Every structure is written in structure tokens, then in C-alpha cells.
Amino acid sequence: MKRLQYTLVLTSLVTIKTRVQSAAIPSAFVSTNILPHHTSKNRKRYGSTKHFNPYRHNGKPPPLSPSIDNAIVTNTKTSDDDDDDSADDRDMSSLLEWASRSSIKVSPRISLTSSHNDDGDGSNGTTDYGVVLNHDEQTTSTTMISSNNILLEVPKSLVLDSRSIYEGWKHYLQPSMDYIQTAGFGDTKFNFVLVVKILHEYSLSDDTNGNKCGTPGKSSVWQEWIQSLPKQFTTGTYMDDVELDCLPPFSRAMAESEIRRLQVFREALQLLVVPQQQEPSSSSLQTNQRGDGNEQLLSVLLEENLVKDDDLTLWAFNAVSTRCWIDNGEENDEDDEQRFIMVPFGDMFNHRDPPNVSVQESPSSDTVQFILAEDYHNKGDNNRDDYPGGDIFLSYGISTNPHRFLIWFGFCNTQMEEIYCQVLFDSPSTELIELGCNDRYKMVYRTSDGAIANTVWDTVLYSLLDQVPRDQALFYEAHRAGDVHSKSVMHGKYVMETSLALRTHIVKELSELEELLQTIDATTQLESGGDHPRLPMIRRYNQFLFQTLEMVKHRIDVRAQGELAKRRRE
């Protein structure tokens, strides 16, 4: 047998893209007898952020309470993957009152839940919020929960829709949008529209002491919701230099991309500051709040002091990035532009994958609906890990990318079933792409036991077989034909070569993570924990990756040792 060079072309992450697949993708773990492992659950993917994915819901909805009396705030234990927002001064009571006045319908089945977070996730004893089923609803029989489990209805008039806002403010926003496109962040230019909207509505709101944040004599429809938002976040753009230095390469690249996007957005905001033409009346501005008013009023949407306030623009950037969703629109929609939306009150749901709540546009009313999974109780009781404690969740999408949860949303999700393997190929061929090298749902390791997805082995083998063109062609033909046996035979022929190639990659990652963990521990001993409040969260994140990769390495070693023993016998 021709001996292969044990090399694999790997590259660092160069660009971070926000557009991702949203279709349901089957598990990467299929049976080719390379490693014994089970099949993961199929589940829908909901997009690049909290993904708005309308689907049709049959049947007449049960009645919802127009009152918020039952949606009280209760205390509960913090779950591992709750948002790590700094929340001590979030005004939840006013949010509930506002929801009642604004025709937001909340089912008596659910409550907002608060939890004191002092577990070292960077919040330093702050309060987190989420949504739970009330205790009596958790224990009721399944017949009491019909197939139409609508938990929340939000009028579309309250939904912040980036496309609708843009259409009303197009001439005002277009130079900034063009600037963002030129700077390389065109995929998120409608995200910028929401940042402008949030800053504008903030300027019309009162602060928690009743003082006007911006122009006196004006008010925001969304004032109470804005006051309920976190005052700071634990995302990548909030991290200081010491914390950034403790991130592994993929996370660091993503954080640097987000920091650059924040800077581009700030520069784009500067283009919005123009001399005020006139002071609009309160009634005329009211018609312009959803972006569909008189164009000559646009000059006062953002005042210079707001645009130049770095703390405020950082907050608005993260309020949008952590809470905006992508609406892919109708299937026959020919518009390629993404639509970013924010759904007040609906942003209170935390993340878990698979989720037990879905989102749809109501087929019979002008609302956005949040619906409990029909098989919620059939999946198991409240002691199951699926839905512990009655908590209910949305999926924030891309469930295999831990870096995204840390950098974009600001929490460490250690309950992920699979994580992306971080094996990147330089200028992959069409064949490698068809084998799945760019599919981050298939290029994964299982976190419970370190099982390596077959797609990872397929792509590593095909890359190494550049040195054996005949076998490479045979392997690819077997893949195209769905010939599992022939693929398995080829994998068996090169077990040692693929094991050593992937092991080299794993060892390098483990070495990097070990060094970062040591750096965090040394920093924590030398400095006060409050100096770098996100370090504990970053440490737990690095430890989670390290433990998973240790299991992956163990599997590779067992695989290689078995092959070595076989070759010695031969």
C-alpha cells in the first residue's frame, strides 16, 4: 500500500457569514459501521438568529386572556443555557402592564420567570428571565392541552419589521445602507435598520427615573418594552481585551468580526446626522413611528448626541443582535433580501434545541403566534432533560455552533448534543462540498461521548486521497451511488491515515484550549473577578470544548490502536 503523508489542509476562519440554512436537516450520524453510535433526533433549524419560520397551523385557536394578570413573574433556578443578560434593573412589571394595554394576549398557562444568576457566568449576581408553564398546567392531563396550544399572540402593529421601516425611511437610510454594503456587512444592513429604530424609540422614551432620554414632549409606543431590555450584555462586543485573549480561535475570529461590524454600524450612524430642518409636531411624529411618515421629519430621528454615545450604540447594537429574528417570508417570495424583525414580549423565550415552542403568522388574525409543541407532554415528564422544570424554549438556530451562542447571544451552551468539528478545507473542490465539508450540521462531534460524524471521516479521507487519485475516484463514485459497503471498505483501507490526520488537528486544538484555561486561571488569581466579569463564562465554555475534544481524541486513539494491532497481525 502506498503510504500517505499524514497532512490535512486546514485554515483559520476568515469570514463570519450570518446567512444559514433553515430547512430541517437529518442527523449526521448515519450507519456506515465506522464507529458505533446512535441516530440523533431530527429537528427543524430556525435560522441564524431567533428564527421566525411561519408554518400553517390548522384548527380554531383556544381563547387567550387579553389580560396579563396571570403572567406573573415567578422565581426559578437558572438553567444552564439561559441568557446571561445583566437584568437587575429591568422593569418587568411595566412590561406586563404595557402588554395588557397593547392587546398582547398571553395565555394563563405561562408566566415570566426570574432567576438570580450567581454561578459565574459573567453576570455577577444579576437576574435572568425566561418563560415557563405554570405549575397547574404542567401537571394537567394531556386532554386539557389541545392541539392548538397558543401561548402568546403579539399584534403585527407592534412587531419591528426592518423592511417596513426601511421603506418609510429609505432616502434617510440609503447612504448608510450603501456604506454597510461596501464595508462587507451587506447581509446585516437590515439589522442596522432595527438599530436605528431602537435608538430613535429610546430617544422618545423616559428613563427609569421618569426623565426624558431624548426630545421632550414626545413618546414611544414601545417605551415599557425598551425599559425591560437588559442594560448590558455578555456578548463578544462587550468583552475586554483580556477576555478576548482567552477565546479560542473560532470564537475570537467571530468576536473580532462582530466588533468590526459594530464599528461599521457606528460609522453608518454618523451619516444619519444632518441639520434639523424643522421640529415636527407630536401628532405628525406619531404617524412616523413605524417608518411610514413625512420624509422631512427624518432629520430628527437621531440626534447627534445619541449617535456619538458609544455606550448607547453598543447597547442598541446588542439589543438588536440578541433579539432580532429572520423572517424568510413566503416560499414564493422572490426578494432575496433578508427581513429582520423584533417581536416584543416574544423575545422573552430562552433557547433550547430541540425547542418546544414554534412561531407562526396567524392564518386568521393580524398577529404573530407562539405555539407550544403538540407533543409536549407526550415527549416526557418535567424531569426529562428535554424540558426541565416546565421551561419552554425557542431555538436560536445553528445548534452545532457553540461559538455563535457565546459571541452573539452571550451565554455558554453546554447542553449541545453536537458541535461543529472546526475542520476547514482550503478552496474545497466540488466533490468535497458534495461530501458535506461545508455542512456544519454534518461536520460534527457528539458531545456526550465524542462520536465523530461519518461526514467528517468522508471529507478527511477524500482530502488525503488526493495522493491516490484512483482510490479517490472510486470512493467518490461509491458516495454518489449510495454504496455504503464500498465506502466502508475504502475507509477500512485507510483507517490509520485518516486517524492520524484528524488526531493532529484535535491535538492542536486541545493544546490551544489547555493554554487558554491556564491563562484564565492565572488571571483570576492575580486580579479581582470583577475586573473581567465574563472570564468565568469563557472558562466554562473552553472547558466544555476541551472535554468534548478529549473524548474525540480517545475515540481516534482506540480506532488507530485497533488498526495498528490488525496490521501487526497481518
Diameter over CA atoms, the chain? 90
Report the chain's C-alpha Rg in angstroms.
25
Q: What sections of 436-534 are H helices per DSSP?
A: 454-464, 469-481, 484-493, 495-526
Q: Are strands 339-342 and 160-161 parallel, antiparallel or unpaired?
A: antiparallel
The length of the chain is 570
Q: Which pLDDT score, from 0 to 100, does residue 328 have?
A: 64
Q: Are strands 160-161 and 418-420 parallel, antiparallel or unpaired?
A: unpaired
Contacts of 58 (CB under 8 A, 6+ apart): none
Contacts of 565 (CB under 8 A, 6+ apart): none
Q: What is the DSSP letter of 52?
A: B
Strand order in the sheet with 73-75: 73-75, 110-117, 126-133
Contacts of 460 (CB under 8 A, 6+ apart): 8, 423, 498, 501, 502
Amino acid in the structure at residue 453: A
Q: Which pLDDT score, from 0 to 100, does residue 527 have?
A: 75
pLDDT exceeds cutoff 50 at 173:
yes
554 or 415, which is more confident: 554
Residue with cell 495498528: 564
Is 438 in contact with 542 (CB distance < 8 Å)? no
Over residues 74-122, the pLDDT tens digits come to 443 333 444 444 445 678 888 889 999 999 999 888 888 877 655 444 4
> Three-state SS for 500?
helix
Q: Are strands 350-351 and 393-394 parallel, antiparallel or unpaired?
A: parallel
> Average pLDDT over the chain, rounded to whole?
76
Q: What average pLDDT does the segment 355-369 reach?
A: 86
Distance linking the first and last C-alpha atoms of the chain? 13
C-alpha torsion angle, residues 369, 226, 394, 103 (rounded to 10): -20
- Please tell me the pTM assigned to this model: 0.78
> Three-state SS for 259?
helix
Residues of the chain with pLDDT > 70, as a percent, come to: 68
Over residues 489-534, the pLDDT tens digits come to 999 999 999 999 999 999 999 999 999 999 999 998 887 657 899 9
C-alpha torsion angle, residues 197, 203, 207, 210 (rounded to 10): -130
C-alpha torsion angle, residues 490, 418, 317, 120 (rounded to 10): -140
Over residues 525-567, the pLDDT tens digits come to 887 657 899 999 999 999 999 999 999 999 999 999 999 999 8
Amino acid in the structure at residue 341: I
Over residues 443-495, the pLDDT tens digits come to 999 999 999 999 999 999 999 999 999 999 999 999 999 999 999 999 999 99
**How far apart (Å, rounded) are the C-alpha atoms in residues 254 and 246?**
13
Residues of the chain with pLDDT > 90, as a percent, come to: 50
> Which of the residue ranges 259-273, 314-328, 371-385, 540-554 would you say has the lowest mean pLDDT?
371-385
Cα distances (angstroms) measured from residue 346 to each of 138, 302, 435, 547, 557: 21, 26, 38, 34, 47
**How far apart (Å, rounded) are the C-alpha atoms in residues 430 and 414?**
34
Q: Which pLDDT score, from 0 to 100, does residue 284 have?
A: 34
pLDDT exceeds cutoff 50 at 51:
no
Q: What is the DSSP letter of 76?
A: -
In the structure grid, which three cell numbers stand for residue 425, read together?
A: 478545507
CB atoms within 10 A of CB 271: 17
Is 258 in contact with 409 (CB distance < 8 Å)? no
